[in-house]
A and B are shown apart, each in its own frame.
Chain A
Amino acid sequence: MDPDLLIRLILLLPLSGAVINGIAPLFLSQFRTRETLLGTIGTAVVAVPFLLTLFLFLSYGGDPIVADFYTWMAAGDLDLRFAYRIDALSLLMTLVVTGVGGIIHLYSIGYMHGDEGYWRFFAYLNLFIFAMLNLVLANNLPVLFLGWEGVGLCSYLLIGFWYTDPSNSTAANKAFIVNRIGDFAFLVAMFLLFRELGALSFDVILSQGPQLSTATLNWIVLLLFIGATGKSAQIPLFVWLPDAMAGPTPVSALIHAATMVTSGLYLLARLSAVVLSAPTVMAIIGITGAVTALMAATIAIAQTDIKRVLAYSTVSQLGYMFMAAGVGAFFVAIFHVVTHAFFKACLFLGSGSVIHGMEEVEHELKEEGHDVSDFDPQDMRTMGGLKRYMPSTRWTYLLATIAISGIPLTAGFFSKDEILFKAFEFGYAGHGYAWAVWGVGVITALLTAFYMMRSYMLTFEGEPRWRAPDRYEPHESPSSMTIPLWTLGVLSLIGGFIGLPAVIKGGKWNWIHHYLGAEYGGPVAEASIHTHVPLALEWGLIGLSSVIAIGTVYYTWSVYSTQGLAFDDRLARNFAGVYQTWKDKYYWDDFYNDVVVHTVIHGVGRKSFAAFDTHIVDGTVNGIARLAQRASALLRLTQTGIVQNYALGLVLGVALIIGIMLFGI
């Protein structure tokens, strides 16, 4: 089949789904309850593109294909086209987006059952896929930016999906605006690139970009990185992501874990050749990633809302990906993007299944007249022992948990270990900051295993902690939800085999490296390393990671299975100095709310801007008007209506003119 046509279909099918699901039920309310129809359309327009992408993927020969459709805008030097690029990187990303996306659409059919906005939900979700595909398939920065802002829009619409609750809408606004701060930097990077290169297509940027002066390159890469911190939730722009969990859980899985938030990494990987030419900024990227990873992991330890744990976990894992980018291992960042998509989507969908069950309990309690005002279906403190009610959810959640914890041979083990190894290797090769990145990565790995295992233990193990669990039982979710869970659970287990480490067969079995790496003809460049780590040391590092993962998982399992929730209190006591800081998320939100929103906008803004415009700027205008009024009032005094006065004026005037003529003033 013609790749041009395939690309068209892959892009336009989700868009058509969005249009159908969005427009028909908006005007014809009888369609709003046709859940099967809406859900099937919504899922099919993602599943079919997945199959088409699979076909492209299998038949891909290794040479990039550019599908150039039409001119978007042209003026002067600017010749901007709607052009898309099929290469190893975009194919892999498209597979993840449509594959994991399709699974999550399927899950949503059951999850959103009965919701008034069922149709809107699928319309937004389809629109998201369309935007995301633009992002990963674009052949120039502005088309990528179209997708970039498009996913931001869908994220906004879906976080505020239940708009009746003002806090959801606030979270949505926050997400959009914080993202826009990043987008602003992205825009400026494009202006710079355009001024220097006169073009914005990847072919030009990748071939001519690295030759630019160091100062220019540093600015460009730094600005792109700031753009990436917005979308991919890194310090200081990560603050929107935890709040974004206000959206329905499939949204958290798809947008705020598996796909959209990884687009910053995609951007850096796509432009890896340029990023590598700015080593100073790479250090900033690596260190920012490390600090973010550590910070978010410590926050996750002290959270009790299951989705918040996962949200901070996502921030932390994204930090790992930036660590990889910061040490020049872009393909490893993408590797972690893929495995993270599997296990984090599985965890979020699992939490959604749990929340469903707990809402059932809440509903039953309410039916029988209990006070449920303090019942929070997302609070792990009211859960416990769910494994006996929800076996599929439990097993898949456990699989994903051990994967993210880095238990050997799981997906997370391979990808995270590769990141740590690359950081170590980069440090070994003489880049000092990489040691720090590596060290922080190892500590964060330990914390990750701990907080994830904690969330599993508090949710599924032990005894139920809600009121009268023998009377009010949650139930396992329907198969439309458990099938996606199992699919992702199994992928979390085996997905790592696409990137076996260098110690095995000298790296020959590292498929993803061979597929993406520039040294094998792929699109992703890599920092060149001249000093290699000895094989024995490499094995030693793998051993260290394994010991940390297994040891921490075992330790967490043993303390929480014996002490349960009480261990949280012990943590709070033992880490009295920092625990509250973790619980309060290092006060980032307070800073944004009190300083930025409250003081700047409400305090200074309302008082000064509006007043300034009314009193100073407009006041000047009205002042001039009053002045003119007074002046004319004075002038009016001369209009006496007495003819003699006018005659006198006339005479004086003539005398004045004659005087001027005579004396030649």
Chain B
Amino acid sequence: MDIPFLTSLVIFLPTAGALLTLLMRSVTGIRWTALVTTTLTFVLSVGLFVGYDPAVSTAITPQLADMSSAWFPDSLDVKYHVGIDGLSLLLVMLTTLLGPIVVLSSWTYIDEKQKGYYTLFLILQTGITGVFTSFDLFLFYIFFEVTLIPMYFIIGIWGGADRIYAAVKFVIYTLVGSLLMLVAILFLGYEAGTAVNNGVFTTDWYKLLEYNVPLAQQGWLFGLFALSFAIKVPLFPLHTWLPDAHVQAPTGGSVILAGVLLKMGTYGLLRFCLPLFPNAAQSSALLFGILAVIGIIYAALVARVQEDAKSLVAYSSVSHLGFVVLGLFAFTTEAMQGAVIQMVNHGLSTGALFLLLGMLYERRHTRLMDDYGGLANSVPVLTTLMIFSVLASAGLPGLNGFVGEFMILLGSFKSTVLSAPWLVVLAATGVILAAVYLLHMVYRTFFGELDQTANAEMVDVNGREFLLMVPLVVLMIVMGFFPNPFLRQTKPTTEFLLNTIEEKRAAALEQAESKPSTATVPLAPPETETVSIDPEDLTLTPQ
């Protein structure tokens, strides 16, 4: 069955749902609209999973693509161009999966201004899905910014005591990065337009790939892009907005933030920074590797001494995403595929941790570990779920977290670009540290004597809460024991990216040696199978 405009539907169905919630009067209606919309979106996204064929090349166009150039003047080659490749697929699936889970987790947690919350949340989902499916840099940028506003309000309105501070910090931090990126995008669009698009400003991803950015410009362009994404990830030392945002955000906000919003940073690095500026990326690989590893170790140590459980998990995110960044800058297939799968895995396990902490918060209205203790006696099911998620997060083999970390470390160790095995050895200590801080949290929260009546009277998870955890737990096992069906989906795209990076890197070097102007070296024509291509899209600039 072919559904027309499937990708666009997956992106915009939540927005339609948001409009619908605006019309609703009753809270029940609002909740159910949100739930039905997000569930439907997830079902549709399964269509993407089924429809995406890893055997078909995405070297010149994404699969399941929708394109329209109607919305911008012809003098600018900026298009609405969305689609799916191996890199987008799993992250889109993760986003749509977390949708209904977040709605269910907010069901009673959000007890005021529900209409606004669910509307914003649905718009946020459109923004995130758009980010992961855009094949036009400018479109990407718009979606990237769209996510900012709903998140700002979600933290600022439904957050904890210091919510305003956290929300403002979140917005300013990210905005600084993304405005700088905008400058870089405009510059890049004109340069690429001149070189490969008959002088027409372009932000089409594939056209940008054809353009070899001169070495002299790669440095600062890469810097501006990378800064913006590094803030989003967040990479040490740009991470301090994250613990504040997480601690203050309501559960749903934290889940989305950790689950997919941060991945926009690592995704952006992989989609744009590495292939567009390969020389600059490779020459700063060691710097990013070092920052990533500092982040892994440093954030783990800070996590260990937190008193606030949510803050602990927030720091653990910084630590875990360090692995992803390390994997990206290793430039090996193993590490890069590991990084992609780790983005998904981190979303699952950290999402689960935030959900469970949210359930505790809803019951006791405190996040301090001191206020808990001995919960294993009163809430055995919640305890089991928590230990399970903690183990996944700590990278226990057989659960999802191990797969990504193992592949990243294995691939980074042999990396000739990083060429720093010692750095990977340091990164691997994160495996020890993760156990240290996570088990510490379990110990303080769930074990020991049940010495407070409020804890003793706590009720275990209800049907709704259990239901929303089931898909996460199942996926943690499935992706732990059977990650290969997922790796297969990402394989062609990561290999394509790595090849492109290598070709472009060599081309830019060659270009710099022959003449320092902006000549272009077309990519080797990719093997096309049964892809239908818009002829307009194929116009390569004659030499």
Contact = CB atoms under 8 A, between A and B. Distances in A.
B443 A170 contact: yes
Contacts of A169: 443, 447-448
A153 interface: yes
Name the interface size band of chain B. 35 or more
Interface stretch (A298-306, A359-367, A606-614): A606-614
Contact of A187 (B334, B377, B396, B428): B428
B376 interface: yes
Contacts of B484: 70-74
B333 interface: yes
Contacts of B398: 146, 149-150
Interface string A74-96: 11111000100000000000000
Given A74-B484, A75-B334, 6 more contacts: A75-B494, A78-B410, A145-B397, A164-B447, A166-B449, A188-B428
B384 A26 contact: yes
A191 B409 CA distance: 7
B396 A153 contact: yes
B459 to A, nearest CB: 14
A20 interface: no
Interface string B471-500: 000000000011110011001001000000
A166 to B, nearest CB: 4
Given A153-B391, A164-B377, A184-B428, A176 B305 contact: no
For A76, A149, A170, A610, the residue with the greatest tally of chain B CB atoms inside 10 Å of its CB is: A76
A76 B333 contact: yes
Contacts of B450: 164
Interface stretch (B258-266, B356-364, B431-439): B431-439
A601 interface: yes
B320 interface: no
A78 B384 CA distance: 33
6 contacts: A26-B381, A26-B384, A73-B407, A76-B334, A191-B413, A194-B414
A77 B338 CA distance: 13
Contacts of B305: 601, 605-606, 609-610
A625 interface: yes
Contacts of B410: 78, 190-191, 194
A526 interface: no
Interface residues of A, number: 52
Contacts of B446: 163
Interface of B: 169, 172-173, 237, 239-241, 298, 301-302, 304-306, 332-334, 337-338, 374, 376-377, 380-381, 384, 391, 396-398, 403, 406-407, 409-411, 413-414, 421, 424-425, 428-429, 431-432, 435-436, 439-440, 443, 446-450, 481-484, 487-488, 491, 494
A575 interface: no
A71 B440 CA distance: 34
A427 to B, nearest CB: 35
Interface in A90-146: 142, 145-146
Interface in A52-82: 70-78, 82
Nearest to A620: B237
Contacts of B241: 621
A192 interface: yes
A184 B431 contact: yes
A432 to B, nearest CB: 32
A569 interface: no
Contact of A160 (B173, B447, B488): B447
A188 B432 CA distance: 13
A177 B439 contact: yes
Given A73-B403, A75-B333, A184 B432 contact: yes
A561 interface: no
A431 B516 CA distance: 66
Interface in A160-183: 160, 163-166, 169-170, 173, 176-177, 180-181, 183
Contacts of B424: 191
Contacts of B374: 164
Contacts of A621: 169, 173, 240-241
A620 B240 CA distance: 10
Contacts of A146: 397-398
B487 to A, nearest CB: 6
Nearest to A605: B305
A170 B443 CA distance: 8
A609 B432 contact: no
Interface string A192-208: 10110000000000000
Contacts of B429: 184
A27 interface: yes
Contact of A194 (B413, B431, B448, B483): B413
For A71, A78, A601, A625, the residue with the greatest tally of chain B CB atoms inside 10 Å of its CB is: A78
A610 B440 contact: no
B408 to A, nearest CB: 10
Contacts of A589: none
Contact of B397 (A149, A165, A605, A618): A149
Nearest to A621: B240
Contact of B448 (A142, A163, A183, A190): A163
A191 B447 CA distance: 36
Given A75-B338, A164-B448, A192-B413, A605 B483 contact: no
B448 A617 contact: no
Contacts of B409: 187, 191
B490 to A, nearest CB: 9
Given A75-B491, A153-B391, A160-B447, A26 B302 contact: no
Nearest to A625: B172
A82 B480 CA distance: 12
A283 B489 CA distance: 48
B304 A601 contact: yes
B243 to A, nearest CB: 8
A618 B315 CA distance: 13
For B410, B414, B425, B428, the residue with the greatest tally of chain A CB atoms inside 10 Å of its CB is: B410
B440 A173 contact: yes
B413 A142 contact: no
A658 B414 CA distance: 60
Contacts of B333: 75-77
Contacts of A70: 482, 484
B332 to A, nearest CB: 6
A72 B487 CA distance: 10
Contacts of B447: 160, 163-164, 166, 169
